[in-house]
């Protein structure tokens, strides 16, 4: 039995690894990855996968997107070594975030780009004065606010302002408790519960959250 299991493991591992063998790449992929051909057999699966994924992205780009990408790379190469390392570190931290957190950061960046130069300067100065812990807290607050607005916008227009007021009137503890509970519900029962809470008085609502949920 052990021999069979070991054989299956080796076969499965080789099947995964073979996906990125040099001979399995098509001509276009090999052409772009030619500088890595000699060291390809020594690269681990993660390194091969990353190179192949980036190559495939390049192959699907339009000429304009490729031009933009080259310009970005040239600008990056002209930066001081310390700045390049800082950008690499920031990129690695971004990759470790969840998909939701990455999406929030991307949206925040888009909003930032729409600000005037003076507004950007003020935001940067204010942000740079924050400690790392405060920056993380700001990000979490921003994410919760965005998620909350998306949730509220799922309801009819006449319900949205009362819903916002209802959530604001909850204590921090009850708001967090309600948010966690709602996240575990399917859309239909979640909406039904929120509408039910909206019809309650503040006292009944507080009692319901603290004792029933």
Q: What is the mean pLDDT of the chain?
A: 80
Distance of CA 26 to the CA centre of its chain: 31
Residues 52 and 25: beta-carbon distance below 8 Å: yes
Residues 163 and 200: beta-carbon distance below 8 Å: no
Q: Is the pLDDT of residue 43 over 60?
A: yes
pLDDT the model gives residue 14? 46
The answer for 130, left when phi > 0, alpha when psi is -120 to 50, beta otherwise, is beta
Q: Is the pLDDT of residue 103 over 80?
A: no
pLDDT in tens, 64-87: 988 988 888 888 888 888 888 888
Length of the chain equals: 213
> Quick check: pTM over 0.85?
no
What is the 3-state secondary structure of the chain? CHHHHHHHHHHHHHHHHHCCCHHHCCHHHHHHCHHHCCCHHHCCHHHHHHHHHHHHHHHHCCHHHHHHHHHHHHHHHCCCHHHHHHHHHHHHHHHHCCHHHHHHHHHHHHHHHCCCHHHHHHHHHHHHCCCHHHHHHHHHHHHHHHHHHHHHCCCCHHHHHHHHHHHHHCCHHHHHHHHHHHHCCCHHHHHHHHHHHHHCCHHHHHHHHHHCC
* pLDDT (average), residues 4-14: 41
Name the token pair of 190: 């979640």
Residues 67 and 59: beta-carbon distance below 8 Å: no
Residues 9 and 17: beta-carbon distance below 8 Å: no
Give the relative orientation of helices 172-183 and 187-199 as an angle to the nearest 10 degrees: 150
pLDDT in tens, 171-197: 888 888 888 888 788 888 888 888 898
């Amino acid at each position: 039995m052990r021999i069979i299991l070991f054989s299956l493991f080796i076969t499965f591992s080789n099947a995964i690894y073979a996906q990125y063998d040099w001979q399995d790449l098509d001509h276009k992929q090999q052409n772009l990855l030619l500088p890595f051909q000699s060291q390809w057999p020594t690269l681990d699966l993660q390194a091969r996968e990353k190179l192949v994924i980036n190559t495939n992205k390049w192959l699907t780009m339009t000429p304009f997107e490729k031009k933009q990408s080259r310009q970005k790379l040239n600008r990056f190469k002209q930066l001081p070594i310390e700045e390049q390392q800082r950008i690499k570190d920031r990129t690695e931290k971004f990759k470790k975030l969840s998909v939701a957190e990455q999406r929030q950061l991307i949206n925040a960046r888009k909003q930032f780009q729409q600000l005037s130069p003076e507004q950007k300067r003020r935001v940067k100065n204010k942000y740079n004065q924050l400690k790392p812990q405060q920056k993380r807290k700001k990000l979490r607050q921003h994410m919760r606010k965005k998620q909350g607005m998306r949730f509220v916008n799922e309801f009819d227009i006449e319900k949205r302002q009362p819903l916002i007021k209802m959530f604001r009137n909850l204590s921090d503890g009850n708001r967090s408790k309600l948010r966690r509970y709602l996240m575990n519900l399917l859309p239909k029962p979640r909406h039904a519960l929120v509408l039910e809470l909206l019809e309650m008085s503040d006292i009944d609502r507080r009692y319901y959250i603290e004792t029933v949920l």
